[in-house]
Structure 1
Amino acid sequence: MSDAKMIYVLNGPNLNLLGLREPEVYGSETLDDIAAMLEDRAGELGLEIDLRQSNHEGHLIDWLHEAQGAGAKAVLLNAGAYTHTSIALYDAIRAINVPVIEVHLSNPATREDFRHVSWVGRAAQASVSGLGAGSYMAALEAAAKL
């Protein structure tokens, strides 16, 4: 069964702490706040959002596979720190034919050196970063045009 109107929004480790964790870096919006903004805009665009968060890498991989099987229109992926370490996520993105847009609240290129390598970004169709919660909104707008 295909649902070409569904956008999966997958969030990795520590993103459940948004609004509390280093607000000077990640902003004051919670993941629930971001979900509400995305759902409102998705509705205007005739799309649906399936937002999920896990601190476990395997869940993110399983959800990428699920997006493929469900015929999702796109995946917005904020893999958190797994962005910089996970060859398994790189492989999972490359294994599916659903467009993946990498999302980051902060700009990894302006942060610690270890954040400058993005395995997710090397496999994703596009990347949006540095706009706070606006990164998700910009990624949604891009996904709507795919």
Structure 2
Amino acid sequence: MKIQIINGPNLNLLGVREKSIYGDASFETYLETLRARFANISIDYYQSNIEGEIINKLHEIGFGYDGIVMNAGAYTHTSIAIADAIAAINTPVIEVHISNVHKREEFRHKSMIAANCKGVIAGFGMDSYRLALEHFIL
């Protein structure tokens, strides 16, 4: 089984930015934990701050992977283009968020991509990624 994790803008700064919201661990550190826990599956990771690069990655892997776990960051709330890319591929996508976006600013309450995703997981910290992975392997 092959799963791709895609993180969007500013998530390269996890462990450094807004620790009260996102925690103090880098995603790379958490990724090691995920790969150890799910050693029987291949977990690839991609992060970009650029919308077009995220779309290109979806196009590249969207027909050959078993699942995509995506935290589109702020693009969640703005990107019709990413929503269209998700709709265009065969691989199911689960939208994840570290924080509970519904407890934050009102503009974060609307997801442009959710309607094209298999599901949405938010508010469980980094464990949001684990929960999404568990869906794909069960």
Fold shared by both chains (TM-score > 0.5): yes
Gaps of 5+ in 1: none
Identity score, percent: 48
- How many residues matched? 138
Separation in 2, partners of 1:124, 1:53: 19
What corresponds to 1:38 in structure 2? 34
Structure 1 range deviating more: 92-101 or 119-128: 119-128
What corresponds to 1:55 in structure 2? 49
After superposition, where does 1:75-94 map in structure 2 within 5 Å?
75-94=68-87
Separation in 1, partners of 2:75, 2:91: 20
What corresponds to 1:101 in structure 2? 94
What corresponds to 1:112 in structure 2? 105
Q: Structure 1, residues 65-115: CA drift from partner, whole Å, max 9, x if none?
A: 11124x100000000000000000100000011010001000111110000
Q: What amino acid does structure 2 have at the position aligned with 1:88?
A: A
TM-score normalised over the length of structure 2: 0.96
Q: What amino acid does structure 2 have at the position aligned with 1:64?
A: L
TM-score normalised over the length of structure 1: 0.91
Separation in 1, partners of 2:112, 2:36: 30
Gaps of 5+ in 2: none
Cα RMSD (Å): 0.9
Q: What amino acid does structure 2 have at the position aligned with 1:109?
A: H
Separation in 2, partners of 1:38, 1:101: 16
2:60 is the alignment partner of 1:66: yes
Q: Which runs of 4+ in 1 moved over 2 A?
A: none
